[in-house]
A and B are shown apart, each in its own frame.
Chain A
Amino acid sequence: MADSIRLHYDVSGTDFTLAGAASSDVKRTLKQLGISPDAIRNVAIAMYEGEINMVIHAGGGEIDVEITENDIRMVLEDHGPGIENVELAMKEGYSTAPDNIRSLGFGAGMGLPNIKKYTDDFRIETQLGVGTKLILKVNI
């Protein structure tokens, strides 16, 4: 792959049933490119959790994906409320999601820990009242 491939997605914050559509598309693209199944799964899970987080907590956002020869980089940015305590949010089992989200199968407090677990590089920038940005990388 000589040049990198860039993909951009606007994630709707109003339709929960559509959450994951961007991750699904990226997964399909990576498959077509012949990327290894392990790397594809890591990207898919990390991005899907991030996408779900955007919908649950932030009213949607934007995702940019760059596929290079050596890695897959993802930037997930929202303009939601921001995360008050990142350290706490990174703990498995800690969640601020409301009960209606739990009834949908999410909000178990595994989102951010899962994203970290499945990526080789994980950075989070967040500011209260401004939003949250995840900068992720999965090596191929």
Chain B
Amino acid sequence: MSGPSTYNPSTGIEKWLDDRLPIIRLGYDSFVDFPTPRNLNYWWTFGGILAVFLMIQIVSGIVLAMHYVAHEDYAFESVQRITRDVPFGWLIQSMHANGASFFFVAVYLHMFRGLYYGSYKAPREVLWILGVVIYLLMMATGFMGYVLPWGQMSYWGAMVITNLIGALPFIGDALREWLWGGFSVGQSTLNRFFSLHYLLPFVIAAVVGLHIWALHVPGNGNPVGLETRKGKDNKKDTLPFHPYYTVKDGFAIIVYLMVFAVFVFFLPTVLGHADNYIEADPLVTPAHIVPEWYYLPFYAILRAITFDIGPIDAKLGGVLAMFGAIGILFVLPWLDTSKVRSMRYRPLTRWFFIFFVVAALGLGWCGAVNPDDFVLGITGFKFLYLGQFLTFYYFAYFIIVLPVMGIIEKPKERPASIEAAVLGSDKA
């Protein structure tokens, strides 16, 4: 924790417990008196929102698992039975399925915040890397969860994604069979995916614990990207987490839950795919296999590599590019050479970053459509080419733009402190 503990056990039982297990002290120092920069905007509320959604997913998931049957003959029907016959099953199932999407919306906004305000830079590299680990675990959990209802898209999505493993040289086929537990996606695959889908959220919760620990050592970043000052000036830059940020986060969480409720109650199926209301059939391939929306940018990157690169064939190249697109986030803290955290003071890089966000959204669009279709109906301009261009930009942003900009860009003048930044904006 940053700064000495200010917890004063006031009752006898608190004193007794504090000498044996200072858990109240930990909670107090972490979530009550924790000094938090006073200039955090609403982009900083997504951490709290994500914690809420992790809990929603775990609690609703535990109830669903009480009624779900992980068997290739019964899985599809059991999910339908949950929505029809289990009391409030329609609500719990809708919360869980839509909750996954809202979890990913929040995590993407949280990552956007981190990228824009440079939250990954020293001394927060480990905090950032733990976040990327959580994101990877979420991807794995979400993917396996989507397989469980055993609809057509569940089955064929699982088929496409697990087949990617087969592209690895030498060990690919063996690894894929090991993952399947057989020679195709089938009963053993469903069973182990169910087991892992139940396990991984608790692993996520544990890494979230580390993530919060790593956050509480240097403390929060903030929109101007300056560290809070130490010593007696610390109070001028910060506010205690409670009540200032509990109430602000609380408000944001409720607003986000309202949007969530609109989907859960009024649009429960729009984020899904019609084909997933058809039971999995290994003999009938859907015309157009698409993953869940939150994987679409990476799906587009996978499909963008249609050419061999030296000894690497197109398929392996696509797989490497797809995993590389996430893997590169692990080394991001060392690719960005600029000492300036916030994009507010980086006039050139800011524009490159905004285009990076456009590229990521564009890749999502490319992932959702047939790569041979034409963009906006322009003959010859295939989505494939757009996807390839955007994939190039995605990687160029990390490998070229960030390292070079840190050297050539002249940042804008920054305020002397958070206090000065706050007063400055107050005067204006």
A, B co-complexed: no
A contact set with B: CB distance below 8 Å: none
B contact set with A: CB distance below 8 Å: none
